[in-house]
Structure 1
Amino acid sequence: MNSLFNALVAKRIVATVSALLVMAIGCAAGYWQLSRASTKIALATNLLARQQMPILNANDRAWTLTEASERRMTARGHYLPDAAVWLDNRPRPFPAGASGNSAQAGFYLMMPFRLEGGDEVLWVNRGWAPRNQDNRETLPPVETPVGALNIEGIVFAHPGKVYELGSGNASPVLNRPRIEQNLNLDGEAKLHGWTQSPFILRLEESGIQDGLLREWPPLTTGVDRHYAYAFQWFALAFAGFVFWLVSGLRQYKRQGFVNED
């Protein structure tokens, strides 16, 4: 037994440490992927539970993010299309089970919505539209309802963020739509000098032919991918152990330790 230990470990310190490192990295990364999947499932479950709560009305009073986050909300007012912000580099959303080119680049159309009966503004994610492949500055044609209307959606802290170099446009032009990487709610409030809700409303309306797509994917999107990645990492750790063991046994046999025992 001592001879076997010497052959596998004592005389192969570098190989043993390397194998332990590979196994540690593989197991750690695998567990991390599993935790990511569990987190997504928990978030989706929490979101579904909050959506079952009574629907809030944005016109009733000024709601806080804590009160309204991930809740369904209705609002009555009118859009302010001249202050719209097109969020760039957003992939096309697909609901569960749908197929298509999810790598297609496009925009989220963020448009301020002035609530009826007051001066408060609510930012609305109206949906996704494809980007012009020839000219990024050419905005997609969409239709915006004129006058007062009722809308309904789900409250989120922000429409999602992408990596952005620098701090964006330091002096944006007012009263015209613009393209940005991310939406800064506090910055928009200061820029326009208006009072606004501390969250955004993602529209859930479907079947409206306005040039925008609102088939939002569930929060559990990607869970299967996390499980696949976890399997790959665990397989790497197992392969590292097997390689270390098999190479050690071969060396053990070559040195004739079996016959000595």
Structure 2
Amino acid sequence: MNIFSSLITGRIVATVSALVVILVGGGAGIWQLNRAEQKIRLGESLTAKLQMPVLKANADSLNLEQAGERRILARGRFIPAEAIWLDNRPRPIPEGGTGTTGQSGFYVMMPLKLDGQDTVLWVNRGWAPRNNENRIELPPVKTADEMVTIEGVAFPHPGRVFELGQKGDAKASPRIEQNFDLALEAQSHGWKQLPFIVRESNSAKNDGLVRNWPSPTSGVDRHYAYAFQWFALALSGFLFWLINGLMKYRRELVVNGDRV
């Protein structure tokens, strides 16, 4: 009886099970490291672009490539009747800040009709808490009737969450959605709109919304911790398989009368 037969061919089920654990643990650990690296690169890119001059939505002809992750200044009137409430969004807590990070609520997406133009800019105005007992009872949010000037950062979308089934009815009131689709909104409303959304930055505005947006690198340490746990699982699976195999091999040597 050689050690190869004892460890592998004589324990096919155990070997395959250990291999699955190692592959799953190693793959998940690598994925977590990649997610951390993506967040670090995004944070570096955003930091660099925030140092660039502010773009003006009313004066500049902007596309997503030009405006992405840049500061945007826009003047216009909000259209509160067309607001979309994005559900299942965690309360934004900045790095080192305090608050209930597990609290779920809404991102309030509202179109801004640009002053002097027939163009609409979708604005993520901020986060509002959800009524856990009655989902469609929306929190009070103040919206100015007059012309306003907002400043924020341009993104392709407000972030996506896992979604089951079809999107809700665009004519429903209130419109509570899981995700936001710029192209779909342009098609359903038939209006001209800029090809990006702006996440409003003013956290001092007293309108019932929270805008303490965290850094893109928020959670990097958590990804490293998860990666360690997954790699530890993979290593534990390998060691368990190896130690049990060696013990089986030693027992077989004793049974066969070989010297251990």
TM-score normalised by the chain length of structure 2: 0.90
Matched, 1:163 2:143: no
Aligned partners of 1:125 and 1:201 also within 8 Å? yes
Aligned partners of 1:62 and 1:197 also within 8 Å? no
> How far is 1:254 from its partner?
2.2
Aligned partners of 1:115 and 1:122 also within 8 Å? yes
Query: Match for residue 182 of structure 2?
Result: 185
In 2 relative to 1, CA 26–124 (structure 1 residues): closer, same or farther, beyond 3 Å?
Answer: same
> How far is 1:19 from its partner?
2.7
> How far is 1:18 from its partner?
3.2
Question: Bigger CA drift: 137-146 or 245-254?
Answer: 245-254
Aligned partners of 1:81 and 1:177 also within 8 Å? no
Give me the whole-angstrom Cα distance separating, in 2, the residues matched to 1:103 and 1:121. 33
Following superposition of structure 1 onto structure 2, how do residues 120-199 of structure 1 map, counting pairs within 5 Å? 120-172=119-171, 178-199=175-196
The Cα offsets for residues 141-192 of structure 1, whole Å up to 9 and x where unpaired, read as 111123122210000111122233333234515xx65322222222322333
Give me the whole-angstrom Cα distance separating, in 1, the residues matched to 2:249 and 2:233. 24
Give me the whole-angstrom Cα distance separating, in 1, the residues matched to 2:241 and 2:235. 10
Matched, 1:20 2:19: yes
Give me the whole-angstrom Cα distance separating, in 2, the residues matched to 1:150 and 1:229. 42
Give me the whole-angstrom Cα distance separating, in 2, the residues matched to 1:147 and 1:177. 22
Q: CA RMSD in A?
A: 2.2
Matched, 1:40 2:39: yes
SS of equivalent residue, structure 2 residue 15 = helix
Query: Match for residue 213 of structure 2?
Result: 216
The Cα offsets for residues 100-148 of structure 1, whole Å up to 9 and x where unpaired, read as 3222221111111111121111111110111123322221111112312
Matched, 1:253 2:250: yes
In 2 relative to 1, CA 73–243 (structure 1 residues): closer, same or farther, beyond 3 Å?
Answer: same
SS of equivalent residue, structure 2 residue 231 = helix
Give me the whole-angstrom Cα distance separating, in 1, the residues matched to 2:38 and 2:27. 16
Give me the whole-angstrom Cα distance separating, in 2, the residues matched to 1:181 and 1:21. 34
In 2 relative to 1, CA 135–15 (structure 1 residues): closer, same or farther, beyond 3 Å?
Answer: closer
Query: Match for residue 232 of structure 1?
Result: 229
Give me the whole-angstrom Cα distance separating, in 2, the residues matched to 1:134 and 1:222. 30
> How far is 1:221 from its partner?
2.2
Matched, 1:243 2:240: yes
SS of equivalent residue, structure 2 residue 197 = strand
Following superposition of structure 1 onto structure 2, how do residues 11-90 of structure 1 map, counting pairs within 5 Å? 11-90=10-89
Aligned partners of 2:94 and 2:214 also within 8 Å? yes
Aligned partners of 1:55 and 1:72 also within 8 Å? yes
In 2 relative to 1, CA 171–218 (structure 1 residues): closer, same or farther, beyond 3 Å?
Answer: closer
Gaps of 5+ in 1: none
In 2 relative to 1, CA 184–3 (structure 1 residues): closer, same or farther, beyond 3 Å?
Answer: closer
Give me the whole-angstrom Cα distance separating, in 1, the residues matched to 2:192 and 2:238. 61
Aligned partners of 1:115 and 1:121 also within 8 Å? yes
SS of equivalent residue, structure 1 residue 260 = coil
State the AA in 1 paired with 2:214: P
Aligned partners of 2:78 and 2:113 also within 8 Å? yes
Aligned partners of 1:78 and 1:113 also within 8 Å? yes
Give me the whole-angstrom Cα distance separating, in 2, the residues matched to 1:251 and 1:185. 62
Aligned partners of 2:168 and 2:176 also within 8 Å? no
Gaps of 5+ in 2: none
The Cα offsets for residues 46-100 of structure 1, whole Å up to 9 and x where unpaired, read as 1111212221110113311111111111111221222222222212111112233
